[in-house]
Amino acid sequence: MYITRKRISLIFVLLIYLSSCSDDYTLPDYIPQPVRENPLLIDGPYIMDSLSLSVSYTSDSYGKIHASLLSTGDDIQVISPFMNPESFHFNIMDEFPESTGISGSNDQILAISDIEGNYYAFTQLLIGNGVVDDSLNWIFGSNRLVLVGDMVDRGSYVTQVLWLIYKLDKEAEEAGGKVHFILGNHDIMCMIGDDRYADRKYLKIADELDVEYKELYGTSSEIGRWLRTKNAIEKVGNFLFVHGGVSPEILNLGLSIEEMNDLIRPYYGKAISLPVSDPVYKLYKTSGLFWYRGYVKAKDGVYDKATQEDIDAILSYFDVESIIVGHCVVDEIKSHFDNGVFTIDVLHPPDQFSDRKLQALLIENNNIYRVDGHGTLYQLK
């Protein structure tokens, strides 16, 4: 099922080559130097409005812009330097898959959170667990991939990660499966222009385009429009997925999953200036769905750590077996509150040489496993 939107006939595609990580780095004028591109910092495309741009930064900070025209359905390449695979292709969608708050469960659910621009970890988890093939094409059939927020910020492959999710969103739908992209605090921070955790190259990109940082994810961009169709909380089968969690304060609002999403979604990309008593304010703020950490720890003066009674009340209200959350970093994926909560935000390895371990959560026939990058199962429930 799809949400219809206006067909895009002309599209910005920005393919950016940054030649230096340092803004103040310049080559000496008296030494002749060829113009060289640094493959590590290739970024793009940025698809916006009705033009296609290709900007090349050289070491002396001059940029060259190339325009090309795209139509819906055109084949577009995304390059991820020094990664394997190093590139993939996608097509612009005519219409975005519908993001429903409640859906049935198929045979398998693979859940991943807090990738934060880490293309290596993301692709290796998907390949190793049979979600995609070596060319990053969906092979997970009618099963479900649930992304529990914070796919952006910090890393230098944010654009590649987002376009890969976009591509899989379409391919899964066509195969009878589903990608559930549930937004986290960093995802909404990007949409409002909060760049505190962004790789500095993205600020440089926005500057060269003469736009504000938030416009890279704004309503004039393909990625921004697509992100605005996503939910903050979903029930998939017998499991509740939300980035931060549902606090007792939010539970006391007495809202359904669909009501929460309907209240939250119109405020994506907007600063929240509402009375503290307003349900939207509560959903967005410290005890809300994006920021709450009470399943793991208390926040002084704001909320206590959740109790088993709190968790039981949430499970009963939403009629689910467990809540799966990201947001709070743990050393490994684990269960809490008698399997009522599973925390899945781990520090993912940035490359194959890191000591960190790849981890995701797999649900199969109501059994719950921690899985690694090779698909090895470690039963949790």
Ordered DSSP codes for 216-243:
GGSTTBHHHHHHTT-BSEEEETTEEEES
Burial class (CB in 10 A: 0-12, 13-18, 19+), 29: exposed
* Number of domains comprising the chain: 1
CA pair distance 201, 21, nearest whole angstrom:
7
> Predicted confidence band at 43 (pLDDT cuts at 50, 70, 90)?
confident
- DSSP-derived letter for residue 286 is T
Does residue 56 sit within a domain? no
- Stretch 138-148: mean pLDDT: 97
> Which pLDDT score is estimated for 70?
66
Does residue 65 sit within a domain? no
> Predicted confidence band at 207 (pLDDT cuts at 50, 70, 90)?
confident
Tokens of 186: 């960093």
| Chain segment 335-356, per-residue pLDDT in tens | 999 999 999 999 999 888 888 9
C-alpha gyration radius of the chain = 21
Does residue 232 sit within a domain? yes
Does residue 235 sit within a domain? yes
Is the predicted pLDDT of residue 304 greater than 50, yes or no?
yes
Q: Share the mean pLDDT of the chain.
A: 85
Instruction: Name, in order, each residue with C-beta under 8 angstroms of 68's C-beta and a sequence gap of 6 or more.
Output: 13, 52, 54
> Which pLDDT score is estimated for 217?
95
- DSSP-derived letter for residue 204 is H
Model pTM score: 0.88
- Stretch 258-282: mean pLDDT: 96
**CATH code of 130's domain:** 3.60.21.10
> Which pLDDT score is estimated for 220?
86
Q: Give residue 246's domain range.
A: 96-379
> Which pLDDT score is estimated for 159?
92
Is the predicted pLDDT of residue 61 greater than 60, yes or no?
no
318 closest CA partner among 244, 233, 249, 380: 233
Does residue 186 sit within a domain? yes
Does residue 105 sit within a domain? yes
Does residue 64 sit within a domain? no
Does residue 68 sit within a domain? no
Q: Is the dihedral of CA 146, 113, 251, 364 positive or negative?
A: positive
> Which pLDDT score is estimated for 12?
43
